[in-house]
Amino acid sequence: MTRELQDLATEIALKAGELILRRRTEGVTVAATKSSAEDVVTLADHESEALIRSLLLDARPDDGFFGEESEASSSTSGLTWIVDPIDGTVNYLYGIPNYAVSVAVVEGEPDPHTWKALAATVTNPAAGETFSAALGEGATLNGRTIRANSGVSASLALLGTGFAYNADRRIWQAGIVQHLIGEVRDIRRMGSAELDLCSVACGRLDGYYERGLNPWDHAAGALIAQEAGARVGGLHGAAASADFTLAADPALFDVLHDLLLDAGAEASILG
């Protein structure tokens, strides 16, 4: 069952990947802004989500849908698809080849605190890279098994992180970076949470953390990183969610967890 769901996620993600890559070459149109002027949605975001939704409806009409750009629909099968039609939309707008289509399927409500992720695919069409996993079946990049780095100390850890579409939040997030930057090897801001989590899964990053993610920004990448041997969660044993998302090899996870607490990662954010 999970393999079939994985194959479906991959087939559909690749089709949406082809579409957004084609639109990229044809020229990107901003359709609207959302939570702030910086938070844009393009016509291609809408087209990609509409395509994914219709293909899922054809293949599995009883499943629920929870996507970034359209109304959620509830499930009668117990399964719900969590979809980000373009993760890294600002990269997509600027032509930075680090954006992805993300498709995951979970058992239960579309709530990261309670869902059980079963299968997931994240495809970066500009790089020709497709990450995928099924629960208990491991993770792959273009079909090749991948593993997260292990045995890395915090002082030599290369981390990834991200910043919100709200200026006050970005200032707060920059404060966490200021605390952390002297404790680790370096920090990368690559612009897509899903691809950051996949980078942990294949060893391009030793760890990743971010606060304020939506469910569709981490649903797929979290399962892929976990199946590659990383621990993915929040603070104080919580699940990964908007409250906090941290991913790293289990030993490094614990060290980074405490460094982030020292840096004030759980403080309340204004704005």
- Contacts with ligand LIP by CB under 6 A lie at 68, 84, 87-89, 162-165, 192-193, 210, 217
Crossing angle of helices 2-26 and 43-59, rounded to 10°: 150
Residue 206 or 210 having the CB closest to ligand LIP: 210
Residue 88 or 125 having the CB closest to ligand LIP: 88
Residue 60 or 104 having the CB closest to ligand LIP: 104
What are the phi and psi torsion angles at 25 (to 5°)?
Answer: -75, -30
Count of CA atoms in the C-beta half-sphere (13 A) of 252:
28
CB of 115 to ligand LIP, least distance (A): 19
Residue 143 backbone zone (phi > 0: left; psi -120 to 50: alpha; other: beta): left
Q: Are 105 and 119 in contact (CB under 8 A)?
A: yes
CB of 26 to ligand LIP, least distance (A): 20
Residues in the chain: 271
Strands 207-210 and 158-160: what pairing? parallel
Tokens of 159: 């981390």
Residue 115 or 163 having the CB closest to ligand LIP: 163
CB of 38 to ligand LIP, least distance (A): 9
CB of 42 to ligand LIP, least distance (A): 10
CA distances from 124 to 19, 177, 191, 203, 211 (A): 12, 27, 13, 17, 23
Residue 60 or 159 having the CB closest to ligand LIP: 159
CB of 30 to ligand LIP, least distance (A): 13
Residue 211 or 257 having the CB closest to ligand LIP: 211
CB of 61 to ligand LIP, least distance (A): 26
Q: How far apart are alpha carbons 207 and 251 in whole angstroms?
A: 11
Q: Are 75 and 110 in contact (CB under 8 A)?
A: no
Task: Name the closest residue to ligand LIP (Cβ).
Answer: 162
